[in-house]
Amino acid sequence: MAAPMKWKRLVFSTYTPALSWVFTRLTDRFFRTHDRRRGSAVLLLAPLLAEADSAPLASSRPPGFTGVEGLLSRFHWMANHVPAFRVPGGHIHILHSPDEFYQAMKARIKTAKSRVVMASLYLGTGPLEQDLVDCMEEALELSQEDHAPDLKVSFLLDYTRGSRGKHNSRTMLLPLLQHFPKQMRVSLYHTPDLRGLLRLLVPERFNETIGVQHIKAYLFDNSLIISGANLSDSYFTNRQDRYVLLEDCGEVADFFAELVGAVGDVSLQLQPDDSVHMMEGMVHPYKGNLSCGLTGNRADFSASAQKRIMEVVNTARVRQSMLETECSEVPDSDEMVPNDTWIFPLVQMKPLGIYLDEQITKQLLIEAGCDSIVYLTSGYFNLTRTYMQIVLGAAADYRILMASPEVNGFFGAKGVAGAIPEAYVHLARQFYNKVCQLGQQSRVHLHEYHRPDWTFHAKGLWYYVGGRDHPCLTLIGSPNFGYRSVHRDLEAQIAIVTENEELQMQLQQEQEVLYQSSTQVSNSTFNQPDRHVKFIVRLSPKMDIQNLGLPDSGFLRIYIVTPVVPSTQILVTQPSVELECPDHSMNLAIPVLSGTGCSADFSCTGSDLHEPSVANIWSLLRLFFLRAVRILLFPPFDC
């Protein structure tokens, strides 16, 4: 076995000392941080795309089912991992249009008596958004006139997106905060991955690519709207999304109020003077809390936030399990409203070590058998490698709906953002080619959404099982099934499992209406003139690294991620390069530029590793520049 060698010897060969000195100085200047030993968020320009699979969830799948109890036996394995709420299906209503979504929120804000909780990426600054704020002001004033100001209004937004520009989400909410300081709370989540020099260098327009608060939940007393839509004028007018209203579902509303409150507790609190600070005793997301003996290390914040949020999830899961046991011992009354529907909240916060949604979604896709049809939609079609492999290797039929270029939210944008729709066309074509190569065209169909003067932002899935005409399960919420949703952002959605025929028909109608505005993708689709992808966009995000002095190890792709800890070992084996973290975490990566510059102490072992040649070093440097240009021109935006 070859002796261990330092990665800086691999990257900066002794055959090119001048080049080595230049890159050493550059990386030391741009990637040096105050905490060398522990590491902080930096640009790692060559992490391996391969995603280590977390352990599959235990589940049981009976050969058939009838009635709500049969559905429960098929899907109740989710209750072992997340809370399970049993509700009447008649209390759940599918909203179909942006205006219906907007009017439903306004009406419920005006009549709210105890609480209004709004979680979104951001609040827009137009007249429709101002009208929404005015409704809240009216409700708060009425509460005070009753001499019993019980109404509490809470906002959870993303710090970076909500602070962009002079007139932003913060300035929209400051008047409410100033006039109703005891009834109003505005929390601004700041990702722990945006810190140190990176926070100073990344421009305002790009800093949200590091990670954001992406949950979309809107709560009014005991009613709740779960959606993928933000609080912005386009989402109220001509940006198609999905929306589900849970009317008078107190337990589900309580859970989301507590979940949003927990994320708010670990977020920055907006003050009436537009300053922000953390709640007492909480760890700062990028500064730490030295008064409590905590450093500015990312792990301190993540551990604290994970503990606070998982307390909510685990407490609800145990409580609902106990309630279900008690209810099962009481015979049902004929006069009772049938609780024929189950709600499973799914939370994904990988920066905080929470990945429940990913585990549940993977298991659902894996278990979809040959008797099932899965309709899956995403406004930004960029499936993770794991999801893609499951879809391509599954037995179920898949109908995947994505945005056509003209309904992409960045279509017609100025500057480099205008090329983002082309990037998604390129990704879709790569996936379609893979489907064709595997001969899966009869099982996996791609569809493009078309609608003049509209944009497309819907995400989720509908699950048809056992040859049924109506879906019995849907996923709806903020996740896009893409890399960002899984690895960077805070996400939440709900799995609805129902035997209620009326609700099933609503879900079928929702799915059919969306797909009726689509066309099926074929080879001719990508040959159309408007599907031409510029060369710079087609710069391959993949690269065979067998010429870098390493064994054949798959492909490289650029992302902005958090560096691995110094004790991480890279094990080079055939036929893949594996990165083994002390905690056996995911995200395999080859650190070309680490958080500590060229002096990072990453070591490699392996019988097939050998000293790279000058030609191999030049290949690596060429990759460095191409991928740097790619990530600067086409950051993975999401809205």
Reduced to 3 states (helix: H, G, I; strand: E, B; else coil), residue 2 is strand
Rounded CA separation 20/42 (Å): 20
Q: Which amino acid is at 26?
A: L
Rounded CA separation 374/354 (Å): 26
Residue found under tokens 């936030």: 305
Q: Report residue 78 as tokens.
A: 């989710």
Q: Which amino acid is at 188?
A: L
Rounded CA separation 122/158 (Å): 6
Q: Between β-strands 217-220 and 223-227, what pairing exists: parallel, antiparallel or unpaired?
A: antiparallel
Rounded CA separation 211/457 (Å): 19
Which segments within 499-635 are labelled E, that is strand?
Answer: 518-520, 569-572, 577-580, 603-606
- In contact, 518 and 401? CB cutoff 8 Å: yes
Catalytic residue among 152, 190, 216, 445: 216
Residue found under tokens 């099962």: 328
Is residue 93 part of the annotated active site? The answer reads no
Is residue 470 part of the annotated active site? The answer reads no
Burial (CB < 10 A; 0-12, 13-18, 19+), residue 448, is buried
Reduced to 3 states (helix: H, G, I; strand: E, B; else coil), residue 29 is helix
Q: Between β-strands 152-158 and 115-119, what pairing exists: parallel, antiparallel or unpaired?
A: parallel
Is residue 216 part of the annotated active site? The answer reads yes
Local structure of residue 584 (DSSP, 8 states): -
- In contact, 639 and 458? CB cutoff 8 Å: no
154 DSSP β-pair partners:
117, 185
Instruction: For 560-573, give one letter per residue: b (16+ CB within 10 A) or e.
Output: bbbbbebebebebe
Catalytic residue among 81, 91, 214, 284: 214
* Helix runs in 468-529, H state only: 483-487, 501-516, 523-526
Catalytic residue among 221, 233, 340, 357: 221
User: Kind and range of the H or E element at 434?
Assistant: helix 420-437
Burial (CB < 10 A; 0-12, 13-18, 19+), residue 64, is exposed
Rounded CA separation 444/394 (Å): 10
Q: Which amino acid is at 535?
A: F
Q: What is the CA radius of gyration of the chain?
A: 25
Q: Report residue 357 as tokens.
A: 């949604």
- In contact, 247 and 223? CB cutoff 8 Å: yes
User: Kind and range of the H or E element at 464?
Assistant: strand 460-464
Q: Which residues are catalytic?
A: 214, 216, 221
